[in-house]
Amino acid sequence: MLYQGIVIKKTDNGEYNQLVSLYTKDFGKITAVAKSIKKPSSKQAAHLDVLNLVDFLLVFGKNYPIITSAQSVETFAGIKSSLPKSATALFVLEAFNNLIYDHEKDPALWNFALNFMKRLEDGVLNFSDVKDCLIGIQKELVNFLGYSQEIKDEDMNRLLDSLSLRKFLSPELISQFSYIADLE
């Protein structure tokens, strides 16, 4: 069966393989093995790039499912060509990786992720003030996940870090854009 997902993270696994974390329509967040993806002759490598929306086939194995075929549906080139958009998208992917449990299918969360990526690609989000844009996205995500909207802007990063076992890195990166914009 053909599945669809957004690639949220890739991690090396051996000399040629990678573990690919995807947020999928059918399974929620999953991690699968992409065998031989790091070989120069790999045909899947470009398709399984972070931020890509992909159609893929899985074979379920002992430890991790194995991606046997992958085809990009959308590469979100507009996001990847803009540093502020890329950093913002990476925040959302980092949030999905840190805050969402594996194998918890949620059609509403899938629609949120896909609509967010399309809004970011189409330039619907306002980047005149990158910091305000990030706070807006953080509030939208926190609200969508069911947490209170009564959080002050300055407490948002602390809340996200408290909800996750891992520290969020992308808000620090995004804050550097504000600093750079102030210098220009």
The CATH number of residue 32's host domain is 2.40.50.140
* Structural contact between residues 67 and 42, judged by C-beta atoms closer than 8 angstroms: no
User: Do 100 and 179 reside in the same domain of the chain?
Assistant: yes
- Predicted pLDDT at 37: 92
41-61 pLDDT, tens digit per residue, is: 888 888 999 999 999 999 987
Whole-prediction pTM: 0.83
Confidence at 154, pLDDT banded by 50, 70, 90 = confident
7-49 pLDDT, tens digit per residue, is: 999 999 989 999 999 999 999 999 999 999 999 988 888 899 9
Confidence at 164, pLDDT banded by 50, 70, 90 = confident
Q: Which domain holds residue 104?
A: 77-183
- Predicted pLDDT at 128: 58
User: Do 61 and 116 reside in the same domain of the chain?
Assistant: no
* Amino acid, res. 77: A
Structural domain count, the chain: 2
Considering only CA atoms, give the Rg of the chain. Answer: 17
User: Do 57 and 99 reside in the same domain of the chain?
Assistant: no
Phi, psi of 164, deg, nearest 5: -120, 150
User: Do 85 and 114 reside in the same domain of the chain?
Assistant: yes
User: Do 89 and 9 reside in the same domain of the chain?
Assistant: no
- What DSSP letter does each residue of 9-28 carry, written as one string? EEEEETTTEEEEEEEETTTE
- Give ∠ CA 52-55-5 in degrees, rounded to 5: 55
Q: Worst-scoring range by mean pLDDT, 77-91, 120-134, 160-174?
A: 120-134
